[in-house]
Structure 1
């Protein structure tokens, strides 16, 4: 069964840094709003650190891009007609691929900052599976 130790039950967290998270100046207004929201979540969880600022800025930029690509696709649609020698072909708009890439990178950044549900479960203090009838196997 092993030895039950308190330090093995929860994931280690990084001590909060000395100083606030400062939003980089190059971010747009919308990205700054996203930055503020993410920084507030990390501060609430007592996991903020000034060295995370650039990483959070990347996530904020990706979230802004997701909103922009979704707005374009909602207004013009997901496909367009391209002329060929025999008529036309229907193709996906370039924004579809860009949106998919931005969403994939945003999901990865959320995981790295431990802001997704799976990571939240690892951070929860005292999170331990309930005892089951097959634990003796």
Structure 2
């Protein structure tokens, strides 16, 4: 389907923009409750997951059905932290010597990894309505 994503009915009701003619009678209903962190998450990612679960609970959009997406977001945010730590310790660039003997400066791989993780995390935050524009 082309165009904008549909706004969930629950979001329309929370925003006060719900119109009966634009509601989806067949919309899936998410289970109520707060998601639990899956076992495969690292300790730091589990902490981030708990924070995200608390935020979504306060916003009244929490659901145990969102475990996979929240875990993915928590994992990406942890990856951003790890890449940032490497960049802060070792810098954004490193030096190599080319075939001609010239010293070249190259971007650390962690810079690109962090950029990709940030783009993905931003998209996931928007999916949950956790960015200013999404709210």
Give the TM-score range, shorter chain: 0.7 to 0.9
Q: 2:53 — aligned with what? A: 39
Task: Report matched runs for 1:1-137 at 5 Å.
Answer: 7-8=18-19, 17-86=31-100, 87-120=102-135
TM-score by length of 1: 0.76
Check whether the contact 1:16–1:46 (CA below 8 A) recurs between aligned residues.
Answer: no
What is the aligned-residue RMSD (CA, Å)? 2.3
Larger Rg: 1
Cα deviation 1:96-124 (Å, max 9, x = unaligned): 1001001000000000111100111xxxx
Q: 1:131 — aligned with what? A: none
TM-score by length of 2: 0.77
Q: 1:123 — aligned with what? A: none
Structure number with greater CO (CA < 8 Å, separation at least 6) is: 1
SS in structure 2 of the partner of residue 24 of structure 1: coil
Aligned residue pairs, count = 114
SS in structure 2 of the partner of residue 116 of structure 1: coil
Check whether the contact 2:93–2:106 (CA below 8 A) recurs between aligned residues.
Answer: yes
Q: Which runs of 5+ in 2 are unaligned?
A: 1-15
Q: Which runs of 5+ in 1 are unaligned?
A: 121-137
SS in structure 1 of the partner of residue 129 of structure 2: coil
